Amino acid sequence: MSRASSSHAHKFSEDADYDFEIRTVLGLSSEGASDIGEVLAATAGIKKGDHKAWLEAWRTLAQRTLDTADASASAGRRVSAAEAYLRASVYFGVAVNAISATDDLTALVPTFATQQAAWDSFVDHSATDIERVAIPYESSTLPGYFLRPRANANGRTIIAVNGSDGSTAALWAVCASPALKRGYNVLLFDGPGQQSQLFEHNVPFRPDWENVLTPVFDFVAGVDGVNEDRIAVYGISQGGYWVPRALAFEHRFAAAIADPGVVDVSTSWTAHIPKSLMKLLDEKEEAKFDNQMRMGMKFSSETANTWRFRARPYGMSGYAETVEAVRTYNLEAHAAKITTPIFVTDPEDEQFWPGQSERLAELTSSVSTLSHFTAAEGASGHCQPLARDLTAQRMFDWLDEHFDSLEAR
């Protein structure tokens, strides 16, 4: 079960989790999905562990920004409205995660609904060509958005895969907007356990994402203006596991990006569980493991709430059952099957999955390109939160070069 850490020279908060969240949101400002001043003003002075103040700060900022968006929309100011709706959706997304880590979840679904409504209002007011789509998936559909750039002569397309708790508005900033600027079609969608699938339909994560990305590929390949031979896929955060996992079985993607690479999702959990408890689990003493975990949680409501927040998308009830489920999210036995060229980001001071980008690159050495991001560049930490322009430049330059070489043949 992951907890953020911070080794940055400048901290926006003494609370490592708050500091990381602030960095992440500030990084979205490069694509208009946050405003630096209002974020820093809203979060200033919040003390370490003051979850009530943290939640209220984001909820207040989100609502104020939404009110601004509504006023602009009513006045017919579409650009101002779109910009504010986008920021409001991001801020409500932080509030949703903050609520998820509390004892009282009554506001969770309504707050997510407001987050989603703000995003949909951005879609309605944006100058970007955005089409709502329903992707056939098993016996139902996955909701998505297909975005077209102003010009795309070669049908290049990228499918963006979110992480465990990221909002669609944030995914717009880290992948979709940079891709559109470079002439790519983009597909955004909610997969199992993500956003609408979790909060509205209670659909949990699944480890075998080839069963998700294969139907998504099939759908995109049939969209007008898409070149089936020029479809790439991007995964951020835990998406850095889901994408390479799918690539081990689905070989039609022309290229892929893992930001960062994740081989074993469970390490972000097990690194924070005492070895004595893990020994119980390895010895199949699940009842003892659960009892000791239950006792330990009584001493820290913060830890208990964080566990509940992180465990919910896996759809399991018991402690042992949850850890065992997370352990199935492991690429070691499958990575050698990957034949798709893959760009892997490798940030210094990766706090959730340290060393795993390198491990993914080792397991896929014949097709992977490992790109190091450093603190000296201002690009350290999980997903390089304060260096998203640099990240976009490197990964899309790599992708452009790859597609250029294919088209020159």
Location of structure tokens 């566990």: 307
Which of 298, 296, 309 is closest to 17 using CA atoms?
309
Q: Is the pLDDT of residue 9 over 90?
A: no
pLDDT band at 76 (very low <50, low <70, confident <90, very high): very high
Distance between CA atoms of 296 and 290, rounded to whole angstroms?
Answer: 10
Average pLDDT over every residue of 30-51: 96
The CATH number of 11-127 is 1.20.1440.110
Average pLDDT over every residue of 269-297: 94
The model's pLDDT over 172-194, given as tens digits with 9 standing for 90+, comes to 999 999 999 999 999 999 999 99
- 49 vs 59, more confident: 59
The model's pLDDT over 330-375, given as tens digits with 9 standing for 90+, comes to 999 999 999 999 999 999 999 999 999 999 999 999 999 999 999 9
Q: What region, left, alpha or beta, does residue 39 occupy, with left being phi > 0 and alpha being psi -120 to 50 degrees? A: alpha
Sequence-ordered list of residues with C-beta below 8 angstroms from that of 379, at least 6 positions apart, any chain: 347, 348, 373, 386, 387, 390, 391
The model's pLDDT over 211-251, given as tens digits with 9 standing for 90+, comes to 999 999 999 999 999 999 999 999 999 999 999 999 999 99
pLDDT band at 8 (very low <50, low <70, confident <90, very high): low
Instruction: Report yes or no: 342 and 256 within 8 Å, Cβ to Cβ.
Output: yes
Helix H, strand E, coil C: the string for the chain is CCCCCCCCCCCCCCCHHHHHHHHHHHHHHHHCCCCHHHHHHHHCCCCCCCHHHHHHHHHHHHHHHHHHHHHHHHCCCHHHHHHHHHHHHHHHHHHHHHHHCCCCCCCHHHHHHHHHHHHHHHHHHCCCEEEEEEEEECCEEEEEEEEECCCCCCCCEEEEECCCCCCHHHHHHHHHHHHHHCCCEEEEECCCCCCHHHHCCCCCCCCCCHHHHHHHHHHHHCCCCCCHHHEEEEEECCHHHHHHHHHCCCCCCCEEEEECCCCECCHHHHCCCCHHHHHHHHCCCHHHHHHHHHHHHCCCHHHHHHHHHHHHHHCCCCHHHHHHHHHCCECCCCHHHCCCCEEEEEECCCCCCCCHHHHHHHHCCCCEEEEEECHHHCCCCCCCCCCHHHHHHHHHHHHHHHHHHHHCC
Sequence-ordered list of residues with C-beta below 8 angstroms from that of 44, at least 6 positions apart, any chain: none
pLDDT band at 265 (very low <50, low <70, confident <90, very high): very high
Q: Residue ranges of the domains in the chain?
A: 11-127, 129-265+329-409, 267-327
The dihedrals phi and psi of 247, each to the nearest 5 degrees, come to -65, -25
Average pLDDT over every residue of 125-142: 97
Report the amino acid identity of residue 37.
Answer: G
pLDDT band at 39 (very low <50, low <70, confident <90, very high): very high
According to CATH, the superfamily of the domain at 129-265+329-409 is Alpha/Beta hydrolase fold, catalytic domain (3.40.50.1820)
Question: Which tokens belong to 38?
Answer: 């209002």
Average pLDDT over every residue of 254-268: 98
What local confidence, expressed as pLDDT, does residue 2 receive? 47
- 236 vs 407, more confident: 236
The model's pLDDT over 377-394, given as tens digits with 9 standing for 90+, comes to 999 999 999 999 999 999
Q: Is the pLDDT of residue 52 over 70?
A: yes
User: What percent of the chain lies above the pLDDT cut of 90?
Assistant: 90
Question: What rounded mean pLDDT belongs to the chain?
Answer: 95
Q: pTM (2 decimals)?
A: 0.95
